[in-house]
A and B are shown apart, each in its own frame.
Chain A
Amino acid sequence: MSVELAYWQSTSIRLVFALVAVLIPAGGAVYLYLFKMMSFMQSRLGPMEAGPYGSMQLLAEVGKWLQKEDIFPRKADKLVFALAPYVVLLSTFLLVLVVPFGPDAYFVDLDVGVFFALAVSSVSVLGILMAGWGSANKYSLLGGLRAAGQLIAYELPMVLAVVGVVIQAGTLSMQGIVSAQAEGEIFGFGGLGNPFIITQFVGFAIFMIAVQAELSMTPFDMPIAESELVTGYLTEYSGMRFLLFFIGEFATANIFAFFASVLFLGGWTVPPFITDIFGIEYDDAIFNVLGPIVMLTKMLLVTFLVYWARFSYPRFREDQLQRFAWKILIPISLVNIFVTGVLKVVF
């Protein structure tokens, strides 16, 4: 970039783009999947009144939530209760910081981007525990405790699944992982690059399962299990605060999908055989514009899987979920790391 911007200018531009990167994909995915895809899977139409094909429905919902009364339960720990949604949202915004959208279109390119992302993703646990405790409600408390146990259990397989990618790419930087995939070759054939989903498909599967659990989406939605715990830690929340939780949940879903596309699907790059047609490099400046679109497409593909499972599966029981994490996912991901390490040395 030839234009030199003052610190406050670049910061405010980044802030605006961060809001855009969090809210627009979240709104789009909620409309596309939560409203429309779910409805079509359940042989109904979904929202049809607000805007063409109900596309303004989400705005109407937001308007509804903003108008609702701001309720504090009488015995609630007011400070904790009020702060909880912001803590959850904080984790979402910290996560989006390390997602690269193009060769120069990123917020920060940390050398330990993957590590940072996995670390801040557990901040939301704190918010959920706060919500569970602060609500002074037994259902909320049970939900909060379930959420804490679940998120901690599934943090580990997620980290271990990513380790395979990191070994293969040889870097913890998100941009580095993207380049490694774009420049990679599969047995001398470079037309596809080397998206890690081909070599790390076990890691991808484990990562997606862990993401599902991190987001507490069905089949891992015990923390908010509506038929058991009313809505778990969300029971006492209404209006604006509920909206913040809602944004947090669905925006985080998208950001994890962004991560999955960066780590396993080649990020903002397109397969080299396409760039060869136009005679440009994979990190040409045009990808600062095309990159976000490519990322959005890949994100929608990945979130499709997340929501597909969400709409079709019943939920696990708490002990089954823990057993699944500790006895199945973690051993498999350890074997995956071992095999990846051996093959990395061999080839």
Chain B
Amino acid sequence: MTAISDRRQMAYIANQAADARVNLELEAEGMTLNIGPQHPATHGTLRIVVRLDGEQVIEADPVMGYMHRGYEKLAEVRTYPQVTTLVNRIDWLGSFANEVPFILACERLMGIEAPPRAQWIRTIFHELGRIANVTLFLGDLGVQLGAITPVFLAFRDREYVLNQIEAATGGRFHPNFDRIGGLKDDLPAGWIAETKASLDKIREFCNTLEDLLMGNEIFQSRTRGVGVIPADVGLAYGLTGANIRASGVDWDLRRDEPVGLPYDQVDWKVWTHPDGDSFARCWLRLQEVRESCNIVEQLLDTIPSGPIMAKVPRIIKVPEGEAYVATENPLGMMSYYVVSQGELEPFRVKIRSASFSNMSITPWLLKGVYVPDVITILASLYFILGDIDR
């Protein structure tokens, strides 16, 4: 009998304490809201702890690392060709782009250069990865803002590009196609014409989306003037890619730092936007998909013939040294710092992925915005969890 009443009493005290905590959170210092790690808008397992005053954010703190997979350490116990399988999984929507800088760094260490045809095909896949990646971003943007239709169109039209990637490499998401000194295979017959047809589908998708989403008054009122990043703040936080170009900084590694990808052979344009708000970031990515279509089309027209593999020893041993290669990936600047001690495995691989740095601005950017804008800003910053937690 006493045991029961004791238990009741304990339960009563616990309830009172819980109530007191809730009241404290509600009234005294704002409410703490855990957005994530399980939340529909975080694309995975990002956790953002926000303190709210009503619906206004007083303080936001991103907690990363729920999906850390230790790729930098794992790379030290893999041979050089095996590392591409790992780094494929960093930005899982534009996988091929992850392989390129690592391979280029290894090639630089070994002092070899891929034949022109391989360079061309690498660039084509680099851009196809960007198209596949950003297409999904554009569709997902709608979902974050409550429009459910664009994402289905995005999934439908992205498939055209993924089919082309699969036809040539055998993998939809993870091509694992890049080799030190060249590529695994040549393009299959008829691939070039099919890819051109699929680019038309993507352009059509861009037009649809411009009408359906970008031109929508509600979308514009939700994103214009929201989450403004001035150029100097963005640079100070190390933003890269479309996020910094949307703040008016004309900086694109594809043009500024040619590392063995023939972007200088193509007539294309780096888009910038002066506003730096969420709308600018979304609009800019849409233009970049179109620009990528142009780049791929021109590369397909000018693709040289010849071998796809340079002379490379059977067992790859990279000579002692250090190399740093950065490329413009779908999400921003991605770079590898490879240190070799002449072994079969790299001694150290430092991966700089774009999303990790892009996320660093969130505490500054989210201060004072409303909860709905948290979602828009995060969506427009565009991160991929695999790219944050490597």
From B31, B146, B153, B372, give the contact of A318 (CB < 8 A): B372
Contact A317 B372 (CB under 8 A): yes
A318–B40 Cα gap in the complex (Å)? 19
Contact B218 A314 (CB under 8 A): yes
Chain A residues within 8 Å of B371, by CB: 142, 228-229
13-62 of chain B: CB within 8 A of chain A: 15, 18, 31, 33, 39-41, 55
Contact A318 B218 (CB under 8 A): no
A38–B146 Cα gap in the complex (Å)? 14
Chain B residues within 8 Å of A230, by CB: 39-40
Contact A42 B152 (CB under 8 A): yes
Check A180 for interface membership: any CB of B closer than 8 A. no
Chain A residues within 8 Å of B216, by CB: 313-314
Contact B213 A228 (CB under 8 A): no
A127–B161 Cα gap in the complex (Å)? 48
B151 to chain A, nearest CB (A): 8
Check B374 for interface membership: any CB of A closer than 8 A. yes
Q: Across the interface, name the chain B residue whose C-beta is closest to A41.
A: B149
| Contact mask for chain A residues 224-262; partner B; CB cutoff 8 A; 1 contact, 0 none | 011111100000000000000000000000000000000
From B41, B148, B152, B373, give the contact of A317 (CB < 8 A): B373
B18 to chain A, nearest CB (A): 6
Check A221 for interface membership: any CB of B closer than 8 A. yes
A154 to chain B, nearest CB (A): 16
Contact B219 A227 (CB under 8 A): no
310-333 of chain A: CB within 8 A of chain B: 311-320
Check A68 for interface membership: any CB of B closer than 8 A. no
Contact A219 B146 (CB under 8 A): yes
Chain A residues within 8 Å of B149, by CB: 41-42, 311-312
Contact A315 B146 (CB under 8 A): yes
A229–B18 Cα gap in the complex (Å)? 22
A218–B15 Cα gap in the complex (Å)? 38
Chain A residues within 8 Å of B373, by CB: 317
Check B305 for interface membership: any CB of A closer than 8 A. no
B33 to chain A, nearest CB (A): 6
| Given A42-B152, A318-B370, A138 contacting B33 (CB threshold 8 A) | yes
B34 to chain A, nearest CB (A): 8
Check B156 for interface membership: any CB of A closer than 8 A. yes
Chain B residues within 8 Å of A148, by CB: none
Contact B147 A313 (CB under 8 A): yes
Chain B residues within 8 Å of A43, by CB: 152-153, 156
Interface size class of A (residues with CB under 8 A): 20 to 34
Contact B372 A225 (CB under 8 A): yes
Check B317 for interface membership: any CB of A closer than 8 A. no
Chain B residues within 8 Å of A75, by CB: 15, 18
Chain B residues within 8 Å of A228, by CB: 41, 371-372, 374-375
Chain B residues within 8 Å of A314, by CB: 142, 145-147, 213, 216, 218-219, 222
Interface size class of B (residues with CB under 8 A): 20 to 34
A18 to chain B, nearest CB (A): 32
A225–B375 Cα gap in the complex (Å)? 11
| Given A228-B375, A320-B221, A44 contacting B146 (CB threshold 8 A) | no
- If over half of A's interface residues share one DSSP class (helix, strand or loop), that class is named, otherwise mixed; here it is loop
A317–B148 Cα gap in the complex (Å)? 16
Contact B370 A221 (CB under 8 A): no
Check A147 for interface membership: any CB of B closer than 8 A. no
Check B143 for interface membership: any CB of A closer than 8 A. yes
Chain A residues within 8 Å of B213, by CB: 314
Chain A residues within 8 Å of B39, by CB: 230
A222 to chain B, nearest CB (A): 7
A319–B225 Cα gap in the complex (Å)? 15
A139–B375 Cα gap in the complex (Å)? 14
Chain A residues within 8 Å of B10, by CB: none
B327 to chain A, nearest CB (A): 31
Contact A42 B146 (CB under 8 A): no
From A38, A41, A227, A315, give the contact of B218 (CB < 8 A): A315
Chain B residues within 8 Å of A318, by CB: 55, 370, 372
Check B119 for interface membership: any CB of A closer than 8 A. no
Check B63 for interface membership: any CB of A closer than 8 A. no
A313–B143 Cα gap in the complex (Å)? 10
Check B144 for interface membership: any CB of A closer than 8 A. yes
Chain B residues within 8 Å of A142, by CB: 33, 55, 371
Check B235 for interface membership: any CB of A closer than 8 A. no
Contact A222 B372 (CB under 8 A): yes
Check B266 for interface membership: any CB of A closer than 8 A. no
| Given A42-B153, A228-B375, A219 contacting B148 (CB threshold 8 A) | no
Check B270 for interface membership: any CB of A closer than 8 A. no
Chain A residues within 8 Å of B218, by CB: 219, 313-316
Chain B residues within 8 Å of A229, by CB: 371
Chain A residues within 8 Å of B145, by CB: 227, 314-315
Contact A218 B222 (CB under 8 A): no
A49–B370 Cα gap in the complex (Å)? 42
Q: Across the interface, name the chain A residue whose C-beta is closest to B373.
A: A317
A229–B216 Cα gap in the complex (Å)? 23
A43–B221 Cα gap in the complex (Å)? 28
Chain A residues within 8 Å of B152, by CB: 42-44
A138–B25 Cα gap in the complex (Å)? 11
B368 to chain A, nearest CB (A): 13
Check B167 for interface membership: any CB of A closer than 8 A. no
Chain A residues within 8 Å of B212, by CB: 312
| Given A219-B146, A315-B218, A317-B222, A227 contacting B40 (CB threshold 8 A) | yes
From A41, A138, A227, A320, give the contact of B146 (CB < 8 A): A227
Chain A residues within 8 Å of B222, by CB: 314-317, 320
A311–B146 Cα gap in the complex (Å)? 9
Q: Across the interface, name the chain B residue whose C-beta is closest to A319.
A: B370
365-390 of chain B: CB within 8 A of chain A: 370-375
A85 to chain B, nearest CB (A): 23
Contacts A218-B146, A227-B41 known; 10 new A-B pairs at CB < 8 A: A75-B18, A142-B371, A218-B147, A218-B148, A221-B146, A230-B40, A311-B148, A315-B145, A316-B222, A317-B372
Q: Which residues of B contact A (CB under 8 A)?
A: 15, 18, 31, 33, 39-41, 55, 142-149, 152-153, 156, 212-213, 216, 218-219, 221-222, 370-375
| Chain A to chain B contacts (Cβ below 8 Å), 22 pairs | A38-B148, A42-B152, A42-B153, A142-B33, A142-B55, A218-B146, A219-B146, A222-B372, A227-B40, A227-B144, A312-B212, A313-B147, A313-B218, A314-B142, A314-B216, A314-B218, A315-B145, A315-B146, A315-B372, A316-B222, A317-B373, A318-B370
Q: Which residues of A contact B (CB under 8 A)?
A: 38, 41-44, 75, 138-139, 142, 218-219, 221-222, 225-230, 311-320
Across chains A and B, which 7 residue pairs bring their CB atoms closest together, nearest first?
Answer: A315-B146, A42-B152, A314-B145, A314-B147, A227-B41, A317-B372, A227-B144
